[in-house]
Amino acid sequence: MIEVKTREEIELMRESALIVSKTLGMLAKEVKPGITTLRLDALAEQFIRDHGAIPGFLGLYDFPNTLCMSPNAQVVHGIPNDKPLEEGDIISIDCGAIKNDFYGDHAYTFEVGEVAPAVKRLLEVTKESLYIGIREFKLGNRVGDVGYAIQQHCEKHGHGVVRELVGHGLGKKMHEDPEMPNYGKRGRGKKFVEGMVVAIEPMINMGTHRIKQLRDGWTILTADLKPSAHFEHDVALLDGRPELLSTFQYIYEALGIVSDEEDEFRRQPLIVE
Ligand code: MG
Ligand code: MG
């Protein structure tokens, strides 16, 4: 059953989402060759608690850490460890936080130093597909419209769309209805309704869409060990249109990137303090 949210609840969810956005912005300054994912995890946990929130992943389904840290061929659900990041790596960081009982949940794939052009392109295409998908999250559309749009864009560029892991409704539970696959058919699946909040999160592989899981019971990696990218936003359906609750602007601020990619999904300008 889809749990629709009131305007007041959506404003609370925006708070939760922004705590995650700020956490990723803080991490953007720290992601560089030599730092370990465990160190980044400790920084994120402290940052979230300092902002009056609770790490959303820690202990959820028994996950051991605050961040899912998935470098290179890891798709999602990687566990932080003491291996330093290296020049040319990519690292997908997925972060959750709970504030006022509501979850924020979003993810960004960072470049560590200078990354190979083909890998850079994978990140660009995956992030483009996120916004192409978000654009379809509007009244009158269905779950399949979002998945179709994401899949078309990524496959056009020769990339594989992971099937086994999907986006989801978001609220007082981390995973609510509906499931939001990154593949699908136009006009199929559940109908979008006013007040829905979803996490849209393409997980896109450079090569095959097939995945495997490590013996740790968590880490998902590509079957061909080629790189994988993951970008995730929290989005509300308000006045029939998608509105972003999360933002990458704190990351861009940290990295000196100027981007207007989120403008069409926001009714008022975001002030990054
Ligand atoms: Mg996530
Ligand atoms: Mg998610």
Cα(95) to centroid(ligand 2), Å:
9
Taking alpha carbons only, the member of 29, 27, 51 closest to residue 40 is: 27
The residue-averaged pLDDT of 127-148 equals 98
Kindly give the distance from the C-alpha atom of residue 105 to the centroid of ligand 2, in angstroms, as a whole number.
5
How far apart, in whole angstroms, are the C-alpha atoms of residue 230 and residue 49?
25
What SS3 state is found at 151?
helix
Q: What is the pLDDT of residues 186-212, one digit of tens each?
A: 999 999 999 999 999 999 999 999 999
Distance 180 CA to ligand 1 centre (A): 13
Q: Give pTM, 2 decimals.
A: 0.98
From the list 90, 118, 133, the residue with the least C-alpha distance to 233 is 133
How many angstroms is it from 104 CA to the middle of ligand 2? 9
The Å distance, Cα 182 to ligand 1 centre, comes to: 14
Ligand in nearest proximity to the CA of 68: 1
Distance 199 CA to ligand 2 centre (A): 5
**Domains in the chain, number:** 1
What's the CA gap between 73 and 212, in Å, rounded?
A: 10
Q: What is the CATH number of the domain that holds 209?
A: 3.90.230.10
Alpha-carbon gap, residue 228 to 133, rounded angstroms: 18
Q: What is the pLDDT of residues 87-120, one digit of tens each?
A: 999 999 999 999 999 999 999 999 999 999 999 9
Residue 267: the pLDDT is 83
Contact 243, 267 (CB under 8 A): yes
In a domain, 2, yes or no: no
The 10s digit of each residue's pLDDT in 205-264 is: 999 999 999 999 999 999 999 999 999 999 999 999 999 999 999 999 999 999 999 999
CA of 77 to the centre of ligand 1 (A): 9
Domain range for residue 24? 7-265
Residue 149 lies in a domain: yes
**Average of pLDDT values for 25-38?**
98
Q: By C-alpha distance, which of 227, 212, 269, 219 is closest to 244?
A: 269
Distance of CA 166 to the CA centre of its chain: 11
Phi, psi of 127 (to 5 degrees): -70, -40
Residue 270 resides in a domain: no
Residues near ligand 2 ion, CB 5 Å cutoff: 105, 199
Residue 208 lies in a domain: yes
Cα(first)–Cα(last) distance of the chain, in Å? 37
